[in-house]
Chains A and B, each alone.
Chain A
């Protein structure tokens, strides 16, 4: 449904490489995630795929149409929710929705079934101007407007950025329901925990794709074993592990520190870590082997 082949996009006369020779494809009905921090090139890719930006080189197609030559067909067949709120703040909820339906030669009634689940949540406020809505409501309205012409592919650029964990979870449940209706979805996010909700993901940083696979595949490809370590004095744990020779690769993950088994040789990592921490005078020590998260994998790919 979407193919991207060796796309490169530079800004500032070639100084800034926003997208650097990126290739991937998205199958029909797939929920595909571009996961990476700000500045990774996610928005540039979205704008190229929605024909709002021309690539420097490479080719891409959406629903079989070329993003450069067939831009008209693409514009009428995709839905796009940009990262920045882009509806008319002076039109009401209702008016914005009708406006977008009309622009695409359809009616709200015709495709109401697609947005019903989401729209009923904001319908009580339908006379309110879009500019006066809360963040969560704006996001739901923007999704409705991007869906109202029944797009074949839906592009969502960071729909959950700055959104609290509860609303984020609700948003992903909406996406799951849309996927069940057969819509292909390409979504970007800087939140690594959302990656597991996609069918496949591309981890992206500084314009380059670090890895593309299913979330399970990315986790399975993690080299070595990870251990979650905890003791009463956490800053000291990190200090002990980091100053050990040779130092252990370790990152804070909430109440635990994740330690990579790399460099431990044939020694039993659990015993080794316990030993080192006990020797350093720490108590309340816990060491547990764990399955890496997508964030662990991202850090590993960034640092190797």
Chain B
């Protein structure tokens, strides 16, 4: 895939539930190796948009291609070419570290031999050898999140979707987590991430801010601050989200 070719291309992507328009004709592109921050208030329509981009929900209208695949007709191909991790659901607490890696690697379509090589390498890289046979439920949250992220990119997907990956994580681990995100991006994986930490918005190459189902702003953190005449991303977010109708 060409570096300038978008790995996510959405045009007027829309989702309606009855009379309610959750995602209202959003258009944007995300490029290979980019870290794209997807911000917005609660209820702004982020989750609905993300579900469509992951091939989990069929749009009401508009188009989108994810890693070259169509969100209407090629949802299975999309699922095989993306990784997904969220704060709420990431790994099975009652399976061991190794079992989780094998389980998710298997789901993502890795063969046995590949799985063995990759799981050993991953455990070594994370320094989890002593914990490999421990239940994931016994690991501290920070470790769980780092492991979950590594598992979500084990199959080297084109794009990884991260839904509030650092919520509730301590400040040191939160920064280690972002170091892992940078590493993945430098290896060519496109990172699509949501967060409520405005300092993390600064770590993205570009961000979009959703308000009432629409993309109210899109650009680099520097561009958005200049456009809205604010000194911080906090200020940018307040200015845009304060007037939202669907928040709260």
- A residues near B (Cβ < 8 Å) are 36-40, 121, 134-137, 140, 161-170, 190-192, 205, 235, 251-255, 295, 298-299, 302-303
B62-70, B92-100, B194-202 - the one binding chain A:
B194-202
Could you say which of A140, A252, A298 has the most chain B C-beta atoms within 10 Å of its C-beta? A252
**Distance, CA A170 to CA B233, complexed state (A):** 18
User: B42 to A163, Cβ gap below 8 A?
Assistant: yes
Q: Which residues of B contact A (CB under 8 A)?
A: 40-44, 87, 140-142, 164, 167-173, 175, 178, 182, 196-199, 201-203, 221, 232-234, 237-238, 241-242, 244, 246-248
Q: How far, in angstroms, from A235 to B241 measured CA to CA in the complex?
A: 30
Min CB–CB distance B219 → chain A (angstroms): 14
Q: In the complex, what residues of B have CB within 8 A of residue A252's CB?
A: 175, 178, 199, 203
Determine the chain B residues whose CB is within 8 A of the CB of A299 once the complex forms.
171-172
Judging by beta carbons under 8 Å apart, are B242 and A166 in contact?
A: yes
Which residue in B140, B178, B196 is a CB contact (below 8 Å) of A165? B196
| Contact assessment for B247 and A165 in the assembled complex, using a CB-CB cutoff below 8 Å | no
**Shortest distance between the CB of B89 and any CB in chain A (Å):** 13
Which A residues lie within 8 Å of B198 (CB)?
Answer: 165, 254
Contact A298 B171 (CB under 8 A): yes
Q: Which B residues lie within 8 Å of A302 (CB)? A: 170-172
CB of A265 to closest CB in B, whole Å: 26
Least distance between B178 CB and chain A CB atoms (Å):
7
What are the residues of chain A within 8 A of B203 when measuring CB–CB? 252, 254
Q: Closest A residue to B88 by CB, please name it.
A: A162
Name which residue of chain B comes closest to A139, CB basis.
B248
Task: Give every chain A residue within 8 A of B247 (Cβ-Cβ).
Answer: 136, 164, 166-167
Determine the chain A residues whose CB is within 8 A of the CB of B238 once the complex forms: 165-166, 169
The residue on A at minimum CB distance from B222 is A255
Q: Is the CB of A251 within 8 A of B175?
A: yes
15 contacts between A and B (CB under 8 A): A37-B142, A37-B171, A38-B168, A135-B43, A136-B247, A137-B248, A164-B196, A164-B241, A167-B247, A190-B168, A192-B171, A205-B170, A235-B182, A252-B199, A254-B199
Chain A nearest CB from B162 CB (Å) reads 15
Chain A residues near B175: list those with CB within 8 A.
Answer: 251-252
Given A38-B141, A161-B168, A302-B170, A254:B43 Cβ within 8 A? no
Give the docked Cα–Cα distance between A248 and B104 (Å): 39
Chain A nearest Cβ from B115, distance in angstroms: 30
Q: How far apart are the CA atoms of A236 and B50 in the complex, in Å?
A: 32
Residue pair B248, A162 in contact (C-beta under 8 Å): no
Choose among A37, A135, A169 the residue that contacts B168 (Cβ–Cβ < 8 A).
A37
Q: For the complex, what is the distance from the CA of A165 to the CA of B87, rounded to whole Å? A: 17
With A164-B247, A166-B241 as given contacts, are A37 and B170 in contact (CB-CB < 8 Å)? yes
Q: How far is the CB of A77 from chain B (nearest CB, A)?
A: 30
Quick check: B202 and A136 within 8 Å, CB to CB? no
B182 proximity list for chain A (CB < 8 A): 235
Complex: how many Å from CA A205 to CA B199?
22
Q: In angstroms, how far is the closest chain A Cβ from the Cβ of B221?
A: 7
Minimum C-beta distance from A238 to chain B (A): 9
How far apart sit A299 and B178, CA to CA, in the bound complex (Å)?
16
